């Protein structure tokens, strides 16, 4: 059986997921696409999914009887309304991160899904599907470095556009770390602080970049994450986990070592699409298989909510300069492992 999917939002990652479903993965086809920019939706459909319908808005797409599952890749602020609408129709939905831009909206989704009584939502946190992070978690779980004490991490983008604001360093960028560390450590956050080092002259005038986020978990693990979204040289994701017995680091993606002119060099990627291409493939194939098996495996609405609560505290900490507490509601039984 081929799973019939509709996609809302045909920008950068929407287009890439449509290509992925139509050309790289198996068992699914894109039968409808839409975007507030309908011209863009038609262009993407004609390139990758020529037979797809182009309804005038996301709600109409979700209501189409042939659409069995929905992928939401519109701007973050629009996610909640589409995810809630998909749940109302009892349809499976893959929502790109963030699940919603406020913890309050994430909680509405959690409550709607819990009321429905079974999982319908998978959040597009792809790092738990990345081979490097999986290897790192496996090593930690085996006890190779003993109890984890600290994490030193960095999330660097080459540059960002004019619409990117300082708080997006948290809600759009750090949100990946907020999710992946919960998954890797099986732990939750209790507080956050944000420190601003000297501002890079390469950042747009309206934004403060870089920033350092300090997190503390329930177990007392301390995490520092550098967010630097105009680092100029490449897309660089680093993560070193320090335990009682040693340190384990996220591997770099494989790259040829070049020895030339008395120098040894390896290429650094510049684009998230390439850096995590395999993880996105595995993640979406798992969603397709999960819908068919009526059992989703990837990040839950609860994970989306937890990341968002932590993100809200970090944004507050950006403004207050203080250590801000992070407290979750109690977890509905639907999300118990
Ligand atoms: N998992 C990951 O690594 C990544 C996730 N993302 C997430 O994917 C989402 C989209 O990001 P990009 O593709 O980079 O942005 P983008 O700006 O390239 O594309 C977003 C598209 O959504 C459309 N759109 C906006 N509001 C809409 C609405 N109400 N209904 C229908 N379409 C609407 C826009 O016209 C645009 O074409 C964001 O939430 C972003 O955080 C983006 C990049 C990587
Ligand atoms: O999700 C992503 C973007 O939306 C975000 O803007 C980037 O900072 C991240 O590296 C990328 O993975």
- Ligand 1 within 6 A of 329 CB? no
**Given this model, what pLDDT does residue 1 score?**
87
Q: How far is the CA of 275 from the centre of ligand 2 (A)?
A: 11
**Given this model, what pLDDT does residue 155 score?**
98
Q: How far is the CA of 68 from the centre of ligand 1 (A)?
A: 21
Six-digit token string for 46: 């004609």
Closest protein CA for atom 32 of ligand 1:
35
Shortest-distance ligand to the CA of residue 228: 2
- Ligand 2 within 6 A of 157 CB? yes
Q: Give rounded-to-5 percent helix, strand, coil for the chain.
A: 40, 25, 40
Asked if ipTM goes beyond 0.90, one says yes
**Given this model, what pLDDT does residue 150 score?**
98
- Predicted model pTM: 0.97
- Residue 197: which residues within 8 A CB-CB, separation 6 or more? 210, 211, 212
What is the mean pLDDT, run by run of 10 residues, along the chain of 337 residues? 97 98 98 98 98 98 98 97 98 97 96 97 98 98 98 98 96 97 98 98 96 98 98 98 98 96 97 96 98 98 98 97 96 91
Closest protein CA for atom 2 of ligand 2:
173
- Ligand 2 within 6 A of 173 CB? yes
- Ligand 2 within 6 A of 164 CB? no
Q: Where are the beta strands (DSSP E) in the chain?
A: 3-8, 28-34, 69-72, 92-96, 121-124, 148-156, 189-195, 211-217, 222-228, 236-243, 247-249, 257-260, 263-266, 324-325
- Ligand 1 within 6 A of 132 CB? no
- Ligand 1 within 6 A of 124 CB? yes
Q: How far is the CA of 172 from the centre of ligand 2 (A)?
A: 6
Q: How far is the CA of 247 from the centre of ligand 1 (A)?
A: 36
Residue 264 phi/psi, 5-degree rounding, is -115, 125
Shortest-distance ligand to the CA of residue 155: 2
């Amino acid at each position: 059986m081929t799973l019939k999917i509709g996609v809302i939002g045909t920008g950068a990652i929407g287009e890439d997921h449509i290509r992925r479903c139509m050309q790289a993965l198996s068992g699914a086809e894109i039968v409808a696409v839409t975007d507030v920019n309908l011209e863009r939706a038609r262009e993407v459909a004609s390139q990758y999914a020529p037979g797809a319908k182009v309804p005038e808005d996301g709600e109409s797409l979700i209501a189409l009887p042939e659409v069995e599952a929905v992928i939401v890749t519109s701007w973050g602020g629009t996610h909640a309304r589409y995810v809630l609408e998909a749940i109302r129709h009892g349809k499976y939905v893959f929502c790109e991160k963030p699940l919603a831009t406020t913890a309050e909206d994430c909680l509405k989704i959690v409550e709607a899904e819990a009321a429905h009584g079974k999982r319908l939502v998978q959040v597009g946190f792809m790092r738990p599907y990345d081979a490097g992070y999986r290897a790192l978690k496996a090593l930690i779980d085996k006890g190779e470095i003993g109890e984890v004490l600290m994490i030193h991490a960095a999330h660097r983008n080459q540059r960002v556009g004019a619409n990117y604001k300082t708080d997006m360093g948290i809600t759009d960028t750090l949100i990946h770390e907020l999710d992946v560390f919960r998954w890797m450590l099986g732990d939750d956050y209790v507080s956050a602080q944000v420190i601003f080092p000297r501002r890079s002259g390469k950042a747009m005038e309206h934004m403060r970049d870089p920033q350092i986020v300090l997190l503390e978990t329930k177990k007392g693990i301390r995490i520092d994450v550098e967010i630097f979204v105009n680092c100029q040289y490449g897309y660089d994701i680093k993560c070193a986990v320090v335990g009682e017995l040693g340190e384990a680091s996220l591997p770099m993606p494989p790259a040829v070592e070049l020895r030339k002119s008395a120098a040894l060099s390896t290429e650094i990627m510049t684009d998230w699409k390439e850096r995590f291409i395999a993880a996105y493939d595995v993640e979406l194939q798992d969603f397709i298989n999960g819908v068919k098996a009526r059992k989703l495996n990837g990040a839950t609405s609860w994970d989306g909510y937890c990341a968002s609560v932590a993100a809200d505290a970090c944004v507050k900490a950006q403004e207050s300069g203080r250590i801000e507490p992070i407290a979750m509601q109690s977890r509905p039984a639907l999300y118990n492992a």
